[in-house]
Amino acid sequence: MITVVNIRSLSYSGTTWINTVLGSHEDAITIGPPDRIWNICKEKNENDIANACLVHNKKCEFWPNFIKEYDINKNFFEQLATFSGKKVIVLNNPSKNFIESEMSSDKIDIKFIKVIRDGRANIHSAMRHHPERHKNVFEAARDWYIPAIRRLDKQVSNEHFLLKYESLIFDFGETIKRLSSFIGIDYSINCRKYWEYDHHLVAGNTGMIDLLQKLQGLEGFEHKRSDFYQKALKDLSNDNEVPVYDTSWQQTFSREDIVAYDFLVGSIHEYFGFERDKVSANEVYDLLMNQLICLKDMQSKNGNDLNQLSFIQRIKYVLNGTKS
């Protein structure tokens, strides 16, 4: 039986790092989001094959050799397990098409892991990556984070392991023991040093893959967050037990951002075991009044006469955002 670890997560949840940690075992291999390599296997474009591995790039022999043997009429996981000699395959966030095509074999046992991270960090990263889409914390929480959390719950309705990203960061030993029991292989505490293992990721976080390359003595590459990961590289070089943990939201969130997050997401935040910020009723009132003021621009663009709405209807308009 082949064990497939299917990690489901929101964007910006540290999933590439979790992939590399869980792939750091002699019986495991991690690939990250599988759709890219699945498509390369089917299309067999020579340039794509040569660049399939994001860790070793054109020096990689693993994926080109696998793709040569790949049979489109056979199950992807059965072929990968046979070729690699691994009994555990780790991936994250496969598409619906991939799931329907490859994840119904009676020879695979799927283990679901749902990853949750402090939503303030998720939202901060979303705003940094897409400032044109997420202009402030209120809108990012309302229009992206809350709908994404709801979709995640629907995607992982089966029995699953709820993994808090922060638990793996700050209580690595105990958390990896629990993961070992769930997945069915005995991870050593040494899997914390993921760069000491061979990985062939085909998709994932650019900064994390760059860090992995440099920790393995490879060249790495420039990207938007090179400075942050360069510092992480230095910290890991000095103490390899120091986790790569981005807390930049703490420096950039204003008090109004904190209030907006707690007002919209606080109950979800608390449900997953995070401590809520202390926010007063007056702060919430001020937040909503400011949001109503911001609706003036939306009113002129959409042609909606908000003056004809009751106070409660206006508040609902604010909370529904673009859905109104």
Please give the pLDDT value at position 324.
41
Pair of tokens at residue 115 = 């990853």
The strands making up 28-32's β-sheet, listed across from edge to edge, are 28-32, 88-92, 2-9, 108-116, 160-164
Closest listed residue to residue 66, CA positions, set 54, 55, 52, 56: 52
In a shared domain, residues 285 and 311? yes
In a shared domain, residues 87 and 204? yes
In a shared domain, residues 271 and 138? no
Provide the 8-state DSSP code for 275. P
pTM over 0.85: yes
Q: How far is CA 308 from CA 113, 290, 304, 320, in A?
A: 48, 19, 9, 17
Q: What is the mean pLDDT of residues 113-132?
A: 96
Instruction: Please report how many Cα atoms fall inside a 13 Å half-sphere around the Cα of residue 10, on the Cβ side.
Output: 26
In a shared domain, residues 228 and 278? no
Pair of tokens at residue 234 = 């230095």
Q: How far is CA 123 from CA 12, 156, 250, in A?
A: 8, 21, 12
Is residue 297 assigned to a domain?
yes
The fraction of the chain above a pLDDT of 70, given in percent, is 90
pLDDT digits (tens, 9 = 90+) for 138-167: 999 999 999 999 999 888 767 899 999 999
Closest listed residue to residue 198, CA positions, set 4, 30, 14, 2: 30
What does the alpha-carbon distance between residue 145 and residue 264 come to, in Å, rounded to a whole number? 10
Is residue 87 assigned to a domain?
yes
What CATH number is given to the structural domain containing 129?
A: 3.40.50.300
Is residue 153 assigned to a domain?
no
Helix (H, G, I), strand (E, B) or coil at 228: helix
Domain that holds residue 300: 249-323
The residue type at 115: V
In a shared domain, residues 214 and 308? no
In a shared domain, residues 221 and 287? no
In a shared domain, residues 116 and 209? yes
In a shared domain, residues 213 and 269? no
What does the alpha-carbon distance between residue 132 and residue 154 come to, in Å, rounded to a whole number? 28
pLDDT digits (tens, 9 = 90+) for 45-103: 999 999 999 999 999 999 999 999 999 999 999 999 999 999 999 999 999 999 999 99
Domain count within the chain: 2
In a shared domain, residues 282 and 136? no
Nearest-10 Cα torsion for 167, 173, 176, 180: -150
The residue type at 299: Q
Please give the pLDDT value at position 44.
92
Does residue 120 carry a pLDDT above 90?
A: yes
Does residue 316 carry a pLDDT above 90?
A: no
| pLDDT band, residue 23 (cuts 50/70/90) | very high
In a shared domain, residues 307 and 229? no
Pair of tokens at residue 268 = 């979800």
In a shared domain, residues 124 and 260? no
Please give the pLDDT value at position 132.
93
Average pLDDT over the chain reads: 89
Boundary (domain end) residue, out of 181, 212, 238: 238
Is residue 150 assigned to a domain?
no
pLDDT digits (tens, 9 = 90+) for 176-222: 999 999 999 999 999 999 999 999 999 999 999 999 999 999 988 88
* Contact by Cβ (8 Å): 205, 15: yes
In a shared domain, residues 256 and 181? no
| pLDDT band, residue 323 (cuts 50/70/90) | very low
Is residue 149 assigned to a domain?
no
Boundary (domain end) residue, out of 176, 204, 238: 238
The fraction of the chain above a pLDDT of 90, given in percent, is 75
Is residue 151 assigned to a domain?
no
Please give the pLDDT value at position 118.
97
